[in-house]
Chains A and B, each alone.
Chain A
Amino acid sequence: MSHEHVSNTKRIWFVFALLSAVTTVEVILGIIKPASLEFNHFVGLNLLNWIFYILTIFKAYYIVWAFMHMEGEKSSLRWSVVSPVIFLVLYLLFILLTEGHYIYGVFKDSTIKWNF
């Protein structure tokens, strides 16, 4: 090992507590589903789902950075792993969700009934 390793136990338990807390918040929100969040939209997505996605990314960040120890890697490795994933996932989501929405419109407005 080139760099010396001090025990990280404290940080590990901290991240565990953090991830558990975030999951608990998600579950509580998922059960009570506050109407004020569920029926108010921001850029086509309701606030509750915004919160869920943001918390998911937040958890993903901590898993990759702390548990997978990405924070200790060289920035070249960090970028070569993270940037292709982010770019391709955003592209994939953009194209598939746009098309899915388009097909929804076709089914809804066309003269052919697909499901009755």
Chain B
Amino acid sequence: MEATVTTANNEKTWGGGHEIQPLGASYGKMMMWFFIVSDALTFSGFLAAYGFSRFKFIETWPLADEVFTHFPFMHGVSAPMYYVALMTFILIFSSVTMVLAVDAGHQLKKTKVAIYMFLTIIGGFIFVGSQAWEWKNFIKGEYGAVETVGGSLLQFVDKDGKRVALEEFAVKLPNQPEQLSRAKAKWFMESAETLPTYSVADVQAGFKAHPELLIRTEHLTAEKKKTVLSRAESEARLNQAKYVVEGANLIRNEYGSKLFADFFFFITGFHGFHVFSGVIINIIIFFNVLLGTYEKRRSYEMVEKVGLYWHFVDLVWVFVFTVFYLV
């Protein structure tokens, strides 16, 4: 226990004495590094598992360019990459303010440390907020799709291969299953799952009424585009429809492989959780800076340690960005 005690004026005391510092680092800093090693391996495990599943379904994996196409205040405009690029810049910039805070700490400039810490916290909040917005779009979906009895996903396109949303052609047939709810005095019959806006029959009827529509399967062609079926094939395929899929959840999603959404939620969620806890830790250290705790210690090493964690979060994002959005 002795080693972990931090005294007011000498933070870097190991049990072995002042002069002995294994690996030339203080106890806290070294443990932060080793925590980062273990956390890096955790993330590597997740990303490798993502790679495993992607290799398994390499011919049917969704195309990121078609999934992440939203940008704030630009409705209906397909803008792949721009938003994640923006998020990446925000995180890199908050890393810069963090390292500037560490740098100011080395010179014992309290006000400067506080300002840079504050900017880092703001950057962190903007990033978490951006991620929430990204999740919202992902969960809500845009076009909707249909799942077959065999578990593959069918999407709808027009003659030019442009995606068509369900609401553009599906008809509302009478006597379709209705969402049961407590409000309708059916508490004992509540639906286990939320019903989609359209039933399978609605979609099939709408498809029949629109002869220009075609079906797109998950299969990637040699040009890395999804396969579009002929009208006759499309009709045959749609007869096997079992579910209407709108947006994404952990069971099925309108983008394609079920595992795609699961990994997206899990990995970006775990990263977002890291960012969020990083912001909380930054806030604690920020208040300590304001209170002059480190001024009294004559050492801003705590800022350096949370800085290490914060940069690690940025580091993970660099890999998540590549694996989910670029490759």
Contacts and interface: CB of A to CB of B under 8 A. Distances in A.
Contacts, number: 152
6 contacts: A16-B96, A30-B326, A60-B315, A63-B315, A74-B25, A116-B151
Interface of A: 1, 5, 7-9, 12-13, 16, 19-20, 23-24, 26-27, 29-31, 38, 49, 52-53, 55-56, 59-60, 63-64, 66-69, 73-74, 76-77, 80-81, 84-85, 88-89, 92-93, 96-97, 99-101, 103-104, 107-108, 113-116
B163 interface: no
B24 A77 contact: yes
Nearest to B50: A96
B311 A63 contact: yes
A40 B36 CA distance: 37
Contact of A77 (B23, B45, B80, B96): B23
B67 interface: no
A74 B24 contact: yes
Q: Which of B34, B88, B318 lies at the interface centre, i.e. has the most chain A CB atoms within 10 A of its CB?
A: B318
A103 B259 CA distance: 15
Measured as residues with beta carbon below 8 angstroms from the partner, the interface class of chain B is 35 or more
A31 B65 CA distance: 8
A12 B55 CA distance: 38
Interface stretch (B99-107, B164-172, B199-207): B99-107
B99 A67 contact: yes
A68 B312 contact: yes
A81 to B, nearest CB: 5
Contacts of A16: 92-93, 96
